[in-house]
Amino acid sequence: MTISKKISLAGLVVLTAGAVILLYMAMQIAYGSRAFYKGPSSYLPPLAIGLLTAVGVIAIQRRAARRSMARICQQIGNMADTREAGMVMLEDTDELAEITRPLNRFISMVAQQNTELQAENRELGIEARIASAEKRNTEAIIFSISDAVIVTNRFDELMLANEAAEKLFGFKLDNALRKNIDRITSDGTFVRLIRETRNHARSQTRKMVEHVMEYEHEPRTFRITLSCVAGAGDDVSGVVAVLHDVTREKEIAQMKTDFVSNVSHELKTPLASIKAYIEMLMDGEAEDEATQEEFYEIISSETNRLHRLIENILNISRIESGVVKVVREPLDLTGVVKQAVDVLSPQAKLKDIEFVSHLAPVYYQVEADRDMIYQAVLNLISNAVKYTPNGGKVTVSAVVDERRNVVICEVADTGLGIPADALPHIFDKFYRVKQSQKIAKGTGLGLTLVKHIIETVHDGKLSVRSEEGEGSTFSFELPVIE
């Protein structure tokens, strides 16, 4: 019990005892007698009665106060257990009601604030779930893009990247998150582009640049699209960089340019020759019949060359565009090879070239277009005869590899061979080995057409082995029909 409480209780006791004594003295005066007064000791009974009365009053008040406090504690405890705010209820005559009224006002205010906070929390929870769903959708979109995607924040730190970006720059996203972009890649130009986009651009800025980067130890050309991520107001909170590999597109564009240039050159050469000899005939320069015959043969030869060139270009174009008509049927490859050998035997005899054939039994068949396979075999044998010196040897074989279940056709010659630096380009359009150009004329499209027929149309495999001065061996293989 505190000092103030002790003082108040003592005062109450004194007041009660004094009130009893005063009442006793008033009774004496009222009766006009001193019969009740027996000296100081005569005050003890009323004093004792006063003290007992005071103690009883105090006990009753404390019991009432304890009951009120117990009710308050119980109601507050229930609020704590149920987590629901309510009013502390006491009777209006209860002395502690003066305390509960401001307490109830405080509880009401807290309950209202709590309700408002819960509503705000629900709204924030909904917004957080929406933001999380949008983030997952954005990540799913970025991860599904085949191009490399890099997302940085306002401090040039990596925030997001897809698998293509990991392969391109050689990092793992889990280990690279929140690292500055210059710690992820050593390509200073790419880092500079991101920083310049962030520093000097607005949220709607989008720019595209082409940049050559090292990828898998080879230079690759990338078209980089840089866009700013909008932040609060007009601030830029980050940069998104998309890197699209355009190396193949550049190569194709260059190939188209080269193709047009080469076609123009190849067409111009026979046309110029035909035109020149026709003009000489018209001018009467071929006076005798032998000269006229020579001019006619040259014109015919150049016309045939022009015809072959156009046919090869058309055939290659049809195959590459997928519009060529393919008639697949069971085909005896041995019979096709034998037919091509018979057709070219007269040309071989003129150069005293020995033909050697090793042909498999005819019952091994492949599923292929007869005319196309015949054209491919004819081109290979024709090249072997054309580029083999007089007195050389050409070996043609068609054998079966039963282990791999394929038919292998080989055409080997004892010609000049192909230099090592020319082998990777031997099947390119209009490519001709410089040493071979002196021996025979050609368009540089024959081997390209053979490659398309074997690999593009028939899903086969074409290869070449050669050593300069030792001859060449061209071979292709096709699956055998079960």
Residue 14 falls inside a structural domain: yes
Distance CA 401, CA 461 (A): 14
Angle at 416 between CA 411 and CA 420, to 5 degrees: 90
**Residue that finishes a domain, picked among 199, 224, 245:** 245
Among 212, 185, 213, 181, smallest CA distance to 197 is for: 181
Write out the two tokens for 103. 């307490």
- The CATH number of residue 388's host domain is 3.30.565.10
Distance CA 384, CA 357 (A): 14
Cα separations in angstroms, 242 against 142, 171, 225, 226, 239: 10, 17, 5, 7, 10
Which tens digits make up the pLDDT trace of 39-98? 555 555 655 665 666 666 667 666 766 777 777 777 777 777 776 666 666 665 556 666
Q: Exposed, middle or buried, 421 (CB in 10 Å: 0-12/13-18/19+)?
A: exposed
Cα separation of the two ends of the chain: 109
Same domain, 349 and 447: yes
Same domain, 354 and 421: yes
Range in 177-186, 288-297, 307-316, 402-411 the model is least confident about: 307-316
Distance CA 234, CA 219 (A): 38
**Ramachandran region, residue 393 (left: φ > 0; alpha: ψ -120 to 50; beta: rest):** beta
Same domain, 231 and 271: no
pLDDT at 36: 47
pLDDT at 157: 92
Write out the two tokens for 133. 């769903």
Residue 63 falls inside a structural domain: yes
Write out the two tokens for 29. 């005066």
User: Which of the listed ranges 260-274, 419-433, 447-461 does the model predict with the highest average pLDDT?
Assistant: 447-461
Q: Residue 253: enclosing H or E segment and its boundaries?
A: helix 247-282
Distance CA 412, CA 410 (A): 6
Same domain, 447 and 375: yes
Q: Which residue has the higher pLDDT, 70 or 18?
A: 70
Write out the two tokens for 380. 């290979």
Domain count across the chain: 4
Q: At 2, is the pLDDT very low, low, confident or very high (cuts 50, 70, 90)?
A: very low
Residue 21 above 60 pLDDT? Answer: no
Same domain, 263 and 212: no
Q: Exposed, middle or buried, 398 (CB in 10 Å: 0-12/13-18/19+)?
A: buried
Residue 163 falls inside a structural domain: yes
Strands 406-413 and 471-479 come out as: antiparallel
Residue 187, domain extent: 146-245
Residue 267 C-alpha from the chain's centroid: 46
Same domain, 227 and 273: no
CB 87 within 8 A of CB 79: no
Distance CA 151, CA 143 (A): 12
Same domain, 261 and 230: no
Residue 118 falls inside a structural domain: no
Residue 20 C-alpha from the chain's centroid: 99
Q: At 190, is the pLDDT very low, low, confident or very high (cuts 50, 70, 90)?
A: very high
Residue 134 falls inside a structural domain: no
Distance CA 253, CA 145 (A): 24
Residue 319 identity (one-letter amino acid): I
Which tens digits make up the pLDDT trace of 140-153? 888 888 899 999 98
Q: At 5, is the pLDDT very low, low, confident or very high (cuts 50, 70, 90)?
A: very low
Residue 135 falls inside a structural domain: no
Half-sphere exposure of 78 (CA within 13 A, CB side): 9
Residue 46 falls inside a structural domain: yes
Same domain, 241 and 373: no
Residue 460 falls inside a structural domain: yes
Which tens digits make up the pLDDT trace of 244-288? 999 988 887 877 776 677 677 667 777 888 888 888 888 887 778
- 236 phi/psi in degrees, rounded to 5: -105, 115
Q: At 1, is the pLDDT very low, low, confident or very high (cuts 50, 70, 90)?
A: very low
CB 230 within 8 A of CB 237: yes
User: Which of the listed ranges 141-145, 204-208, 463-467 does the model predict with the highest average pLDDT?
Assistant: 463-467
Same domain, 334 and 419: yes
pLDDT at 245: 92
**Residue that finishes a domain, picked among 193, 220, 245:** 245
Indicate the average pLDDT of the chain: 79
Same domain, 261 and 183: no
Which tens digits make up the pLDDT trace of 210-237? 999 988 888 899 999 998 887 666 677 7
